């Protein structure tokens, strides 16, 4: 199952500092498995770049990393607040999730 959690447009100032001159939207989703497994909650990030005359979409889903929905929402809020993109999500999760 997949449910929308939240989304943001990266502020224009941040994009300009990185030398990017087109809008980028990040969407964060809660994912879960219906099976009886301990860590059944995951996350997905979708990045949409609005290039001139073209739209580029990149996404990354990380499944079965958490065992409760409260933790899932805390992680998603942290990812959104820090504008984590699909390419960096695994590195960030590696740093913040208990081993």
Tokens describing residue 42: 């995951």
Q: Has residue 92 got a pLDDT over 90?
A: yes
The pLDDT of residue 17: 94
The pLDDT of residue 55: 97
The mean of the pLDDT values for the chain is 93
Distance CA 99, CA 34 (A): 24
Domains of the chain by residue range: 2-96
Predicted confidence (pLDDT) per residue in 11-25, tens digit: 999 999 999 999 999
Would you call 12 helix, strand, or coil by DSSP? helix
Distance CA 94, CA 99 (A): 8
Query: What single-letter DSSP state applies at residue 10?
Result: P
The pLDDT of residue 24: 97
Would you call 73 helix, strand, or coil by DSSP? helix
């Amino acid at each position: 199952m997949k449910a929308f959690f939240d989304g943001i447009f990266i502020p224009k100032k941040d994009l300009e500092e990185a030398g990017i001159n087109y809008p980028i939207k990040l969407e964060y989703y809660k994912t879960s498995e219906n099976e009886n497994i301990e860590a059944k909650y995951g996350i997905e990030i979708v990045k949409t770049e609005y290039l001139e005359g073209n739209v580029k979409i990149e996404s990354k889903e990380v499944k079965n990393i958490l065992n409760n929905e409260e933790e899932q929402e805390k992680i998603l809020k942290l990812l959104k607040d820090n504008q984590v993109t699909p390419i960096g999500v695994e590195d960030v999760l590696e740093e913040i999730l208990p081993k």
